[in-house]
Amino acid sequence: MPVRKSSTAFVVTENESIPVVDAHIVYIAEGQVEAAAAQLPQPLADELLSLKERGLFAAKAGQTELLPAFGLVPSRYVLCTGLGEAATPGALRAASVYAARALLARQLGRAAVRLEGGGANDWRDRTQAVAEGLLLGGYRMPVFRRAPEEATELREVALLVPPGEAEARRGAEDGLRLALAVAEGVNYARDLTNLPGNRLTPEGLAEEARALAKQHGLACTVLDERELAAQGMGGLAAVGGGSDNPPRMIALRYDGAAGRPGADVIGLVGKGITFDTGGISLKKPEGMEEMISDMGGAAVVLGVLHAVCTLRVPVNLVLVIPAAENMPSGRALKPGDVITSLSGHTIEVTNTDAEGRIVLADGITYAKRLGATKLIDVATLTGAVLVALADVATGAVSNDDAFLGELLSAAKSAGEKVWPFPNYPEYHEMLKSDVADIRNATSHRHAGSITGGLFIGFFAGDTPWIHLDTGGTAWLWDEKGTEPKGGTGAMVRTIVRYVCGEPL
């Protein structure tokens, strides 16, 4: 599945050149309904104030109201969308997601937005938030029906800036460029995560990586099952050994800062379990279809790569994806097995459903051998993170507080929720094995997300490392807030923001 280029045609134009569209989008903060109404023709203002008085629209986050324009403005409708307490970039992004959904629900494909801002950076940030939200809100997952229904798309959006203000236009155009790259990366990750397991095997994921590398002129290496064995990647080989679709180790390189002496090489390692039955430690059948999303970490790193390449960011990246199916068979990994990882460390397997951390152990080691000086792994690693954080936030654990602080700051700017877990010695003790260097799961369910992450951290060693557990955020059973049903692409925005630096 190639990256789906945005079908929305954006144009930055001056307020005096307002096009005729289906709807003009008006952003309103709580407590500003009266001020917003004062900017509308009287009949529309009266209707908006009436909605407020009746308690139907208070400009809270997530609220939208579509007002028929009746020829009073050059559009069929005025769409009022609530910002909540303040017009921050995060609030603008969220309000734009809801606006896009409201437009598409009424089969309206052309919109205009009157932008506001201060300096060039403010224009950039606000424009990026608006355009990014509209693109993310317009996402539709791939379908495989014989005769798919025609779906309305957001075809045209005019971004209106004040006439004669060159700084505003430059800032808006820069923000639009950023939004297109990031939103395409997120939506590509969503597409990959939503693919059924029979349509995205480990080799299929490798083909996706090769196609993305070819699109951007990058180097891509794929190791097959024979090469895995030859190089000693015992973790990935063991996890993938139970499937008729053999495992693959995928690596890509982006040298955007090749000419900068001493530049860090950031290693992004994404869990690529294209379907997870649990192996011999078989999962319950109810809800197992969600396990098409167990390669959500791999989808994220590929989405990040697309955005970084599109923006030509001056950074060095190594991307590693250990890809496998976790299936039960006569060749499958068994509880009690002891395997040797690429690092040479041995692993006692106590639970074959804790397979993601095993393949990531080889992925982390491989990234270090390819020159990574900092590591971020992304994985739908545990169900325990759902117990701790529900589907609201991504869990994080790290061996470097300063590094983690930078990523948390990037997450806040990107509008994604990440919560750090502690890294105490007592948690490491829980992973000690009587027969191997480490065991892949504890004998109890306590601190499951923390110990799962710290298992991976054992293989990071002294290299600065962050683990992101998207077990609750990478895939949703139903649309929730600004996130869609199915794959969400959670953490693409955060990691792009981090690798690009502050601000983008």
* Domain spans, the chain: 9-162, 191-500
pLDDT recorded at residue 4: 83
What are the φ/ψ torsions at residue 124 (nearest 5 degrees)? Answer: -60, -50
Q: Tell me how crowded residue 426 is: count the other CB atoms within 10 A of its CB.
A: 9
Alpha helices in 163-285 (DSSP H): 166-194, 202-216, 225-231, 234-240
- The DSSP H or E segment spanning 453 is helix 448-460
At 387-397, the pLDDT tens digits run 999 999 999 99
At 261-291, the pLDDT tens digits run 889 999 999 999 999 999 999 999 999 999 9
pLDDT recorded at residue 258: 84
> How do beta strands 394-398 and 418-420 pair?
parallel
At 328-379, the pLDDT tens digits run 999 999 999 999 999 999 999 999 999 999 999 999 999 999 999 999 999 9
Q: What is the spatial distance between Cα 411 and Cα 414, in angstroms, rounded to a whole number?
A: 5
Q: What is the spatial distance between Cα 192 and Cα 272, in angstroms, rounded to a whole number?
A: 11
At 483-492, the pLDDT tens digits run 999 999 999 9
Task: Determine the topology of domain 191-500 in CATH.
Answer: Aminopeptidase (3.40.630)
Q: Tell me how crowded residue 158 is: count the other CB atoms within 10 A of its CB.
A: 20
pLDDT recorded at residue 16: 67
Residue 283: active-site member: yes
Task: Determine the topology of domain 9-162 in CATH.
Answer: Leucine Aminopeptidase, subunit E; domain 1 (3.40.220)
pTM of the model: 0.96
3-state helix, strand, coil in the chain (%, to 5): 40, 20, 40
The answer for residues whose C-beta is within 8 angstroms of residue 205's C-beta and 6 or more apart is: 192, 248, 250, 272, 274, 295, 298, 321, 323
In percent, how much of the chain has pLDDT > 70? 99
Mean pLDDT of the chain: 95
HSE at residue 46, side-chain half, CA atoms within 13 A, is 3
Which residue among the candidates 155, 283, 369, 412 is catalytic per the annotation? Answer: 283
Which residue among the candidates 357, 374, 439, 497 is catalytic per the annotation? Answer: 357
pLDDT recorded at residue 428: 97
Residue 357: active-site member: yes
116 pLDDT tier (thresholds 50, 70, 90):
confident
502 pLDDT tier (thresholds 50, 70, 90):
low
In percent, how much of the chain has pLDDT > 90? 88
> How do beta strands 338-340 and 346-348 pair?
antiparallel
Least confident of 117-126, 242-251, 291-300: 117-126
